Amino acid sequence: MYNSITSDISVSVLPVYIDERSKPEDSRYFWAYRVVVENRSGEPVQLVSRYWHITDGNGHVEEVSGAGVVGEQPLIKPGGSFEYTSGCPLDTPSGIMAGHYVMKRPDDSIFEVAIPAFSLDLPDCQPTYN
């Protein structure tokens, strides 16, 4: 599991290779990743948007951004958490993802929360460092 904490907001990510959705013979590899966002601050925060920087094993970069996560913009109370699962296809058997969430406080101020960089590597394979 990969973890980071920014402004008392903890983000943990666990990537898992999904063999059933992958077709290595067609250079298609798929990972699911589970994210837990935990609010360790003393005030509620809302996850407003996301930004991902995805690099495959060839160094090709894709940037993805949008409102919320998995169709939601959750409000996370102090001591609470929000968990979701999403996925990432790659054309190579390894890669890396990193990014940030934009969070909003009750006073409408916004701040970024780092998503820890995490590797996407086939099980039992030597990781590629991008």
Render pLDDT for 70-125 as a digit per residue (tens, 0 to 9): 999 999 999 999 999 999 999 999 999 999 999 999 999 999 999 999 999 988 66
pLDDT band for 128, please (50, 70, 90 cuts): low
Q: For the chain, list the domains and their CATH numbers.
A: 2-121 (2.60.40.1470)
Q: Structure pTM?
A: 0.91
pLDDT reported for residue 130: 47
Predicted confidence (pLDDT) per residue in 10-53, tens digit: 999 999 999 999 999 999 999 999 999 999 999 999 999 999 99
Q: Which of 89, 75, 69, 107 has the alpha carbon at shortest distance from 9?
A: 75
